[in-house]
Amino acid sequence: MRLADGYDPLLFDLDGVLFRGPEVVPGGPETLEALRRDGHRLAFITNNSARTPEAVARMLRELGYAADPSEVVTSALAAAELVAARGYHRAFVVGEEGIRRALAGAGIEVLDGEPERADCVVVGWDREVTYAKLRRACLLVQRGAALVATNDDRAYPAPDGLWPGAGALLAVITTTTGAVPEVVGKPHPPLFEAAVRRVGDGRPLVVGDRLETDIAGANALGWDSVLVLSGVTDPDRAAAGDVRPTYVVRDVRALLEPPPVRRTGQK
Ligand SMILES: [Mg+2]
């Protein structure tokens, strides 16, 4: 009996799970290959809306993972699916190429410049944001545009410290307008739901390194989860947190090992 037995699909967070900064985690590519050989469907889920699935798959392949773009589900892709499902046709975007391409791919018209109206404003991570863009987003929301966010991560952990995340940009608009956004990325359900729509439903297992996004999101859906200690969460924090994963393990290699004792007090 191995931990991954009986779970399908397996939904992997990226940073802290498959790699850490520029370094691949020990045994990561070999573990995922073995899981594939055993028939598990895999999905790679990320709150980062800036990169396209093709770019994410390329980055994973450079690290040694056999990832296909069809297995990559970004918050941009899930946001575009949500926007299309709501029947919105015209979107003003605060965000980068990943979200613009995803919206266009879903048949949504992406508005540029200073449009008078939009069906929705979609906010993601944008490293070239300007006051003019945020002002326009606020005006459109006041005129009735729905507010959709790819994710609400307050910060992006960069090598030199924390950078403002999509949630920080979103806060400019919610602070100004008082609007309540619909948020797609982890820990909110739409990204997880988009992943199982894409690779297939079953008995999903979420593998992540962050309690408040990966694990809280799985818990909210009633799905089992694995917290890996190869990322941002240390053992003390894992034990103290009020968010309880189903399993706590060293790293992804544990998916091929006998399951550890389940955490007590979980859902
Ligand atoms: Mg992570």
The answer to whether residue 267 scores a pLDDT higher than 80 is no
Residue carrying structure tokens 């990325």: 185
182-201 pLDDT, tens per residue?
Answer: 999 999 999 999 999 999 98
198-223 pLDDT, tens per residue?
Answer: 999 899 999 999 999 999 999 999 99
- Told to judge if 234 belongs to the known catalytic residues of this protein, a careful annotator would answer no
239-251 pLDDT, tens per residue?
Answer: 887 899 999 999 9
146-155 pLDDT, tens per residue?
Answer: 999 999 999 9
23-62 pLDDT, tens per residue?
Answer: 999 999 999 999 999 999 999 999 999 999 999 999 999 9
- Told to judge if 15 belongs to the known catalytic residues of this protein, a careful annotator would answer yes
Which segments within 47-181 are labelled E, that is strand? 72-74, 90-94, 109-111, 120-123, 146-149, 155-158, 161-164
- pLDDT the model gives residue 266: 47
CA of 13 to the centre of ligand 1 (A): 5
The answer to whether residue 263 scores a pLDDT higher than 80 is no
User: Could you say which of 5, 8, 15, 152 is catalytic?
Assistant: 15
User: Could you say which of 8, 13, 126, 152 is catalytic?
Assistant: 13
**Residue 109 pairs with which residues in a beta bridge?**
90
Residue-by-residue DSSP string for 156-210:
EEETTEEEE-HHHHHHHHHHHH-PPPEE-STTSHHHHHHHHHHH--SB-EEEES-
> Alpha-carbon distance 91 to 245, whole Å?
37
Peptide bond into 187 cis (omega under 30): yes
Which residue, 82, 77, 107, is CA-closest to 95? 77
CA of 265 to the centre of ligand 1 (A): 23
Domains of the chain in sequence order? 10-75+186-256 (3.40.50.1000), 76-183 (3.40.50.1000)
137-183 pLDDT, tens per residue?
Answer: 999 999 999 999 999 999 988 889 999 999 999 999 999 999 999 99
CA of 158 to the centre of ligand 1 (A): 13
Whether 151 contacts 184, CB under 8 Å: yes
Please give the model's pTM, rounded to 2 decimal places.
0.93
Average pLDDT rounded to a whole number, residues 129-135: 98
Residue 213 CA to chain centroid, in angstroms?
Answer: 9
CA of 17 to the centre of ligand 1 (A): 6
CA of 120 to the centre of ligand 1 (A): 29
CA of 264 to the centre of ligand 1 (A): 23
Confidence of residue 256 (pLDDT cuts 50, 70, 90): very high
CA of 231 to the centre of ligand 1 (A): 6
